[in-house]
Chains A and B, each alone.
Chain A
Amino acid sequence: MTAALNSRPALQAAPGTGLRKAKNSLAAGLVTGSFLLALVPLVWLLWTVISKGARALGASQWFTSDLGTRTFSDSGGGALGAIVGTLEEVALCAVIAVPIALLVGVYLVEYGRGWLARVTTFMVDILTGIPSIVAAVFIYAVFLKALGGQFAGVWASLALVMLMIPVVVRTTEEMLKLVPNELREASYALGVPKWKTIMKIVLPTAFSGIITGVVLGIARVAGETAPLLVLVKYTPHTNGNLFNGFQGSLPLMIKDQVNNLGAGTTNFDGTKQANFAAERMWGAALTLIIIIMLLNVIARLVARRSKISN
C-alpha cells in the first residue's frame, strides 16, 4: 500500500509562466509578508516591556516591599503587594474553577448524551466568548448590589472563575477524547464501575494534558484587568486578605501608574519633579509577563510529558 503510494510520481505546484507566474510570486510575497508583519508588534512590544521594565525589577526592593504611602515622586518601593494580590486572586479562582471545569469536561465526554449535553456544550462556547467586563458586571450585580458585599479580592476571583472554566473545560474535553477507548472497555470488562474507570484510568491517562489546560487557564486570567477594576479597587499597601478590603494586583498597579504618568510640577529652578510612574508601570508589566510566560513554559513542559498525543 505505502509502496504503491510512494511509487506514484509526486504532484507539485507548476511554476507557471508570464502573468500566472507573477501572480504566484506576488501571493507568496504577500503571505510571507503577513507573517513577518505579525512578528513586528510581538517583538516590538516584548522589547519595550523588557527594556523599560528591567530597571524596576533590578531594584533590590522590587520583590520585597510594596509602594505603601510613596507617591509617584518618591523613589523606592516595589510590587510585593501587587504580586501577592495577583497570586492570591488567581489561586482562589483556580481552586474554584478547576474542579467544576473537570467535572464538566468529564460529563461532556463520558456521560454527555441528549439535550443537556448539547445545551452545556453551547453554553461553554458562550462562556468562552463572554467579555471579562460582562462577567465583572454580573458579579457586581449579584454580590455587591443585590447581596450588599464590599469591594474585595474574592469577587474578582469569582469573575475570573467564569473566564477560566471554559478554557479548562475545552482542554479537558480534548484530552479525554484522546484517551483510547480500549482502555475504558478493558476496564469495564474487568467489572470496574464506570466512575472508578474514569477516576483511575481515564483521568490519570489524560492527566498531563489536563494540567496543561489548567496552567494555560491560569495564565489566561492572571492578566485580566477589567474585573479587578470593577470589583476590588486598588491599594498600594500589601493586603493578604482576599475577603476584606481593597487589594493591589499587578494589572491594577499598572493602571494606577498610568494615572500618574504625566504628573509632576516644575520646580523653581526649572527642573521637573521626579516621576517614577513610568518605571513602575513597565516594571509591573514585565513582572506580569514573566509570570504568564513562566506558566506557559510550564504548560508546554507538562504537555511534552503527555503519554497520549494527537
Chain B
Amino acid sequence: MTERTSDGEPLPAPSIGGESVLDPPPAGTVVVGSAEPAAIDVLEDAPPAAGIGSAPPTGTGRVRLGDRVFQGMTSGAGAFVVLLVLLVGVFLIYQAIPAIRDDQVNFLTSREWAVSGSTLRFGIAGLLWTTVLISVIAMIIAVPISIGIALFMTQYAPRQLSRPIAYVIDLLAAIPSIIYGIWGITVLAPKLEPIQRALYHLGGIPIFKDKGFVRGSIFDGGVVLAIMILPIITAIARDVFERTPRQNIEAAWALGATRWEMIRMAVLPYGRPGVVSGAMLGLGRALGETIAILLIVSAPANGAPFSASIFNGGQTFAAKIAADSAEFPSAPGPYIAAGLVLFVLTFIVNAAARGIVNRRKDFS
C-alpha cells in the first residue's frame, strides 16, 4: 500500500457514518466465525463518496508504518521457522562432532554401543538396520491397505459416506503413539505370536528365523507401525484419487471398462506420484516413531550377533535415544549423533516426498 495523500500525511482511517470501520467491531462479532457479516457490512454500507478526494495509489510514496511493522513481523516469523530448522541441523552437528571424533570404533559401520565407560565405542549400523527393517515391514503392510481404503472412499463407497469414513480413518492418527505402544505389547503381540511361530517352521528362511523374541519382535513393531502410518498414506492417496480428471474416467467407461479396469486405466496411473509421496511421508513418520517401538520391541542383549530375522529384537534410532535418556547427563554426545543421523534420514525422505507432491501440483 502506498500513501494516497500528496503531502505525505497518513490517510485518516476511512469512516462510515461517523464510526471508523477500523474500530474494533462490537463484542461478539469477532468470535467464532461470525465476523464475515461485519466485513460485508463494511463493504455494503460504504458511501460511494468514500473514495472521492483520494488520489489512486501512485506507487511512489513510502509504505505505511503499520504495514511495515506488520510485514516485518510476519516475514520475521517466517525467517524464524527457517532459522529453527537450520539451527536444529547446525546444533546437532556441532554437538555430535566431538563425540564422533572420540569414538574408538567406526561410527557408521560399528554395531557396538558402549558409552558409559571412559572410552566411547558406538556405531549406528545396528540402529540403522532395525530402523530400516521395521519401516519396510510397516510399509509393506500399510501401503496396499491404504491404497485400498483410498479407492474404497473415492470409487466404491457412496458419496455421503466418504466424509464419515475419512473421519474414522483420521481417528487412527489421533490416538497417541504411547497408547499404540501399550496396546501393541500387551494385547496385539500375544495374538501375533501364533503367526510368528507358524513362520518359524517355514523351512529355515533366514528372515523368519527364531531368535527367541516371541513377543516384542521387530515384526510386532512393524505391524503396529503400519497401523500408525495408515492414515497418513490414505489421506494423500485419497486426495489424488479424488482429483482424477473426469474425462479419463468417462473415457474408460466409454470403452466399456468394468470398475476395476477403469481404476487401472484412469485412477491408478493418475494417482501414482501422489501415492509414492504419501508412502514416503508415511516412511518419514515410521523412521522417527519412538515410544511405541520402545514399548513393543525388546532390545537384544548387548553384543548379540547380527541376524537378518524379522523375529529378532532390536532398537531403532529413536527408541535407543529414548531408552537411554537417563544416561544423557553423563554422555549425551553419542545420542545427539544418533539424533543427527535420524534428522538427516527423515529430512531426505520428507524433502523427496514433498518434491514429488509439488512437482505434481505444477502440472495439474
Contacts and interface: CB of A to CB of B under 8 A. Distances in A.
Interface of A: 11-16, 20-21, 23-24, 26-28, 30-35, 37-39, 41-42, 44-45, 48-49, 100, 103-104, 106-108, 110-112, 116-117, 119-120, 122-138, 140-142, 144-146, 162, 165, 169, 183, 186-196, 198-201, 204-205, 207-209, 211, 219, 222-226, 229-230, 251, 254-255, 258, 261, 278, 281-282, 285, 288-289, 292-293, 296, 302, 305-308
Interface of B: 1, 4, 11, 13-14, 21-22, 25, 29-36, 38-39, 42-43, 46, 50-51, 54, 64, 66-67, 69-71, 73-82, 84-88, 91-92, 95, 144-149, 151-153, 155-157, 165, 168-169, 171-172, 174-180, 182-183, 186-188, 227, 230, 234, 250, 253-254, 256-263, 281, 284-285, 287-291, 295, 317-318, 321-322, 325, 328, 332, 335-336, 339, 342-343, 346-347, 349-351, 353-354
B347 to A, nearest CB: 6
Given A141-B95, A204-B36, A14 B346 contact: no
A195 B285 contact: no
A218 B7 CA distance: 49
Contacts of B157: 35
A155 to B, nearest CB: 12
Contact of A204 (B39, B171, B325): B39
B137 to A, nearest CB: 16
Interface of B is mostly: helix
A208 B262 CA distance: 39
A141 B332 contact: yes
A233 to B, nearest CB: 9
Given A108-B78, A131-B290, A289 B175 contact: yes
A224 B254 CA distance: 51
B291 A226 contact: yes
Contacts, number: 339
Contact of B179 (A196, A198, A219, A285): A285
A13 B258 contact: yes
Contact of A201 (B39, B146, B186, B290): B39
A307 B284 CA distance: 35
B322 to A, nearest CB: 5
A37 B152 CA distance: 12
Contacts of B317: 133
A95 B322 CA distance: 27
Nearest to A142: B91
Nearest to B15: A190
B125 to A, nearest CB: 19
B253 A191 contact: no
Given A20-B261, A140-B332, A204-B36, A223 B176 contact: yes
Contact of A133 (B42, B51, B230, B290): B290
A145 B339 CA distance: 15
Contact of A14 (B156, B257, B336, B347): B257
B291 A205 contact: no
Given A41-B227, A145-B95, A183-B39, A14 B78 contact: no
A35 B165 contact: yes
A309 B128 CA distance: 44
Nearest to A30: B148
B259 A27 contact: yes
A207 to B, nearest CB: 6
Q: Kindly name the residue among B14, B259, B335 whose own CB sees the greatest number of chain A CB atoms within 10 A.
A: B259
B62 to A, nearest CB: 13
Contact of A130 (B88, B262, B290): B88
14 contacts: A35-B165, A42-B171, A111-B75, A120-B78, A120-B79, A123-B86, A130-B288, A133-B339, A207-B31, A225-B176, A230-B325, A251-B176, A285-B178, A293-B174
Contacts of A183: 39, 43
B251 to A, nearest CB: 9
A306 B261 contact: no
Contact of A137 (B174, B321, B347, B354): B321
A224 to B, nearest CB: 7
A193 B64 contact: yes
A305 B353 CA distance: 34
B285 A129 contact: yes
A209 B342 CA distance: 34
A127 B81 contact: yes
A56 B324 CA distance: 30
